[in-house]
A and B are shown apart, each in its own frame.
Chain A
Amino acid sequence: MRRFDYLRPKSLKEALQLKKTIAGAKYISGGTDLIVQIKNRELQPTTLISLRSIPELARIEINGGARIGALATISDLIQHIELGHNYPVLIAAAKRLGSLQIRNVATTGGNLCNCSPSADMALPLLVLEAKVRLQSAKASREIPLSEFFKGPGKSCLSSDEIMTDILLEPPSQKTKATFLKKGRVKMDLAIASLALLVEIEGGRCRKARIAAGSVASMPLRLFDVEALLEGSTISKDSVSKAQQLARDTVSPITDLRATEEYRRHVVGVYMKRGLEKVFG
């Protein structure tokens, strides 16, 4: 591993300032992805600026909706009782992320900013229609998470910005959600995963939000399947159509973890199982 400097600013302002002045600097939060990349020499930063000493970044607030500090660890989410009560699908995904040791250091914002197509936290946050707040020295902006990802390792986060918060709308009593993940073993990167949130009224699907992981260049909202389901009654036929459309909509690749065909297949099966689950 190449040598690098390590700085630990105490405020967001200082963190943003440091990044501007030091060439080749990178922010680090949990480091569970970043350190691996540095060790593999995919990244060679001159300086790591840790965000872990900025207390407001790790806070979780319930305020009708929720504000999750980007530095909140996955274990922080799991241990937060109200958050779990309000957004169980978020916790279901959190529990499947890595190992206990990883969950204790990996952060929610880090999982998103790493922009992996398999990011476990992205899926429930996509179906919950979360927004993320991005802060630069000059300005702050809020954007829907669905617009955040731009490709593997790519997002709309610019180099002078820090993701500070993940914002959730108040939970709806009328919705039901589920998270499904397939790994080669239980503790694994997803080879295919799916989050599903639906609002049902009188056997009819009023609203559907679906996101799939590891089946495209980024965590993907399946808008076509959502449109297919919304307004329709849930039957064997519509489930089967959704399964087929989910399979067809995604664009996975073959790599050493799974083939394209298998990823497609699993997303279809999960689409069906997810619907069966939320519709009882």
Chain B
Amino acid sequence: MKNFHYIGKETPRPDAPDKAAGKALYIHDLERPGMLYGKIKFSNHPHARIKHIDASKAERLNGVRAVITANNSPEVRLGFLGDNVALKKDKVRQYRDEIAAVAAIDPDTAEEAVELIKVEYEPLPGLFSPQEAMKKGSPLIHETDAQGRPRTDNLVPLRYRHQSGDLDAGKRAAKYVAEGEFSTPRVQQCCMGTAGCIAEFDMNSNLTIWAKTQIPFLAQRDFNRALSDMGLRDKNTRIIVPALGGGFGTGLDTHAYEYIAILLAYKTGRPVKIVYARDEEFAYLSPRQSSITKITQGCDQNGRLTFREVEVLQDNGAYTSWGATYPSVMMMPATSLYRVSNIYFNAKLVYTNNTFCQAMRGYGNPEHTWALESNSDELAREAGVDPYEFRIINCNKPKETTPMGFKVSTCGLKECLQTVAKKLDWKKQNKKGKCRGKGMASLVHVGGGGRIYRSDASGLILKLDDFGNVNAYHGGVEMGQGLHSVLTLGIAEALGVRPDKVFINPLDTSTCPWDVGTHASRGAFMACNAAILAANKLRGKIFKLAEELFPQEAEKNLKKYRKKNPGYKPPAFDFVKEAKKERFDLKDGSIFIKGAPPEPWLSLDLGRLLRAIHFRTQGQMLATEVFYDPPNELPDFAKGFGNISATYAYGTQGAEVEVDTETGEVKILRMVAAHDVGKVLNPRALKGQIYGALAQGIGYALYEELQSEKGKIVNPNFRDYKIPTAQEMNFPIDLEFIETNDSFGPFGAKGVAEPGLVPTAPAIANAIYDAVGIRVRDLPITPEKILSALKKLKASKG
């Protein structure tokens, strides 16, 4: 294996000191001269006709600069199906529908003005579950589609289907079958930094927007389209991304509040800032989509899977954002976790009057793995096979192609399973009388990008200065996950400079090259692959110029060295003849000839060479630009086929729990995790990713649920929306990384931003079953659900 200089070394993140000291500037910290504050009036009906909007009082309030409604501003469509508009005109379809907005000189005035806007509604019957909304004769939530064609039902026009092998044959071959319905709730991403933006127009009507986004370049496209909708044809948007207090998927789409800020800024001619308060973040930002999964699996007498049949039903909410594409990711574990050749997968999405949903870490994978890995445990027990052995029997292997067409390059799943079993003392009996149990669950996830758009590329510009510094311009978003840390190490390693000589510049669409967005665990994989490409190009340029300039600079060095060391005899080495571009190397910012004697004067500081290049007649400065597009393909999700990622990440997590059978409380005693990460880039950053994801997974498993009553979010605050704190994470996490050195991965690495969350809930559920013999099938697994399941178990035993 290759020896690395910086890769794999425990390195503090370059952005950490500023963030810890409060110096990093988040959207909340930013102000622009003359800036106004925007505030949105939201619906207080889940489904109703808007009869009348009276904004006259708000308009007259001192300090108000603009009040906009659908009646006085252009229609701006949003969402990938175009089924949503920034300001609602005729009808509201969910509690959070935007009716009007105000721009005022301060936040208090804006809030007061919003309260003065009076809206008359004619309530319509609401539909709050997909089952209800699917019924024949249910009222239509959207009477027409985005193109104005009439609709006849509440189904979302998206197809996700996979069929492979022969399902009936698979069923016939099954000796044991397990069937179950598993559901997951809506949960919120809970970014530490809430959503917000500042929109500002220049006098040429070009827009600059400081946006909390994970997709600056797709957002540029979206906003340019909005400008066009506003009659500003051929005008451009420049997006500047401030420090982000977490993304977790919230920045994967553009939002109504952003379009509203744009409309207000254009109307007032002044910068307008909209930032969500925490309760607004909970109630008016799209959460993770809920799901209901019916799954049946069967295996033969040896525990080998013979078929898998899955039906997914999703509550889409009132409009469409990326939540509606979760099944595209659910298909991944459904077709490619464990070896099974006869598969049927189908997903249906239904409009309801609930809040609509967007991306969140894992993106359908935690939902599906919850069902799949709970059901796998049930099937193993049904077949009388140890759940760990069952997973080993059906384990994926390197170099296989899965039924969905995933070309698996490396696969460390078996090692992950073995590691977790060993660390959990799997074979050791649980302590008697303690209600303790162990469980495990595995995952597969994209680890080499995820092509869900025509391009899955990532651009990088490297610019060298006179001092040997490297300025990087990259389109990926640092949102707290540590992207800048690994990009810094990747550039330093590939180019041959010290990490402290690498500077990652703020993300701005006017200076940074295109990148599809920071999602699908692709940040590190893309950025470091781009870094390697760029570094190789730069090294070529540097070494070519060194061919010309190295001899004269080394000569100067030697002269100086001799003056300092009288009587010095240089070794016999013809550096003039040896100075060939292919002979050079660059390490720690010094250029030298490979195989040359280690004389200090024979090594040339990069900065010095760059100055020599710059300041000669017809001098030049060095920079390079690359565009890395990974070898993967855009799948056809209606057919359920396509190698979406260049490589795939695998992992297994295990839990040991103790259940209090009197109160129903679950105490996690320890967790173990083994992840096939390809190669560890920065151990410290990587551990942070897994710990954080695992904690989010525990929230998903045991505590979190965005509760709603007839479409209204009733716990829009941390008082009643509970996430795990340090006191819940009060147990050891034993983490091990399996390095499979993937040939597509930069330095061998795969993406691992999401995997830590994915199998956490089923691992815990399986441990609960092991402890007390009950299975809760709807998340979160609350004490009340445990008690009720225990009661049923007791009753069934008589």
Contacts and interface: CB of A to CB of B under 8 A. Distances in A.
A22 interface: no
Contact of B784 (A3, A188, A256, A262): A262
Contacts of A185: 703, 722-725, 727-728
A256 B719 contact: no
B714 A186 contact: no
Contacts of B715: 256
A182 interface: yes
Interface string A5-20: 0000000000000000
A157 B663 CA distance: 36
Interface in A247-267: 256-259, 262, 265-266
Interface string A169-185: 00000000000001011
A182 B727 contact: no
A256 B706 CA distance: 11
Given A1-B108, A257-B720, A266-B663, A187 B787 contact: no
B707 interface: yes
Contacts of B782: 184
Contacts of A216: none
B621 to A, nearest CB: 51
B784 A269 contact: no
A258 B725 contact: no
A188 B665 CA distance: 15
Given A3-B108, A182-B663, A259 B728 contact: no
Contacts of B111: 1
A259 B784 contact: yes
A256 B720 contact: yes
B662 interface: yes
Contact of A187 (B665, B707, B725): B725
Contact of A258 (B108, B719, B784): B784
B662 A269 contact: yes
A265 B784 CA distance: 10
A189 interface: yes
Interface string B673-711: 000000000000000000000000000000100010000
B783 interface: yes
A235 B23 CA distance: 62
A256 B665 CA distance: 18
Interface string B716-743: 0001101111011000000000000000
A187 B663 contact: no
Nearest to B720: A256
Contact of A186 (B663, B728, B783, B784): B728
A186 B725 CA distance: 8
Contacts of B723: 185
A266 B663 CA distance: 6
Nearest to B714: A256
A262 B787 contact: yes
A258 to B, nearest CB: 7
Given A184-B703, A189-B719, A256-B720, A269 B727 contact: no
Nearest to A41: B115
A189 B703 CA distance: 14
Interface string B260-304: 000000000000000000000000000000000000000000000
A266 B786 CA distance: 13
A182 B782 CA distance: 13
A188 B662 CA distance: 20
B727 A187 contact: yes
A98 to B, nearest CB: 10
B663 A269 contact: yes
A277 to B, nearest CB: 14
B707 A256 contact: yes
Query: Which of A2, A189, A266, A273 counts the most chain B CB atoms within 10 A?
Result: A266
Interface string A88-129: 000000000000000000000000000000000000000000
Interface in B635-678: 662-663, 665
Contacts of A184: 703, 722, 782
Nearest to A186: B727
Nearest to A272: B662
Contacts of A259: 784
Given A182-B663, A184-B703, A189-B719, A262 B727 contact: no
A2 to B, nearest CB: 8
A2 B115 CA distance: 12
B787 A265 contact: yes
A262 B728 contact: no
Interface string B514-551: 00000000000000000000000000000000000000
Nearest to A40: B279
Contacts of A182: 663, 665
Nearest to B107: A1
Interface string B546-570: 0000000000000000000000000
Interface in B753-798: 782-784, 787
A262 B783 contact: yes
Interface in B9-33: none
Contacts of A186: 725, 727-728
A50 to B, nearest CB: 21
Contacts of B108: 1-3
Contacts of A265: 787
B376 to A, nearest CB: 29
A12 to B, nearest CB: 32
A262 B782 CA distance: 11
A256 B784 CA distance: 12
Nearest to A273: B662
Contacts of B727: 185-187
A127 B714 CA distance: 34
A270 to B, nearest CB: 9
A273 B727 CA distance: 22
A120 B727 CA distance: 18
A262 B783 CA distance: 9
Nearest to A259: B784
A188 B663 CA distance: 16
A265 B728 CA distance: 23
B728 to A, nearest CB: 5
Interface string B314-332: 0000000000000000000
Contacts of B720: 256-257
A230 B111 CA distance: 57
B44 to A, nearest CB: 14
A6 B742 CA distance: 64
A269 B665 CA distance: 12
Contacts of B662: 269, 273
A81 B727 CA distance: 25
11 contacts: A1-B108, A184-B782, A185-B723, A187-B727, A188-B722, A256-B707, A256-B715, A262-B787, A266-B663, A269-B663, A273-B662
Given A185-B725, A186-B727, 9 more contacts: A1-B108, A182-B665, A184-B703, A185-B724, A185-B728, A186-B728, A187-B727, A189-B719, A256-B715
Interface of B: 108, 111, 662-663, 665, 703, 707, 714-715, 719-720, 722-725, 727-728, 782-784, 787
- Those 10 A-B pairs whose CB atoms lie nearest each other, nearest first: A186-B727, A184-B722, A269-B662, A185-B722, A262-B784, A256-B707, A256-B714, A185-B728, A187-B725, A256-B715
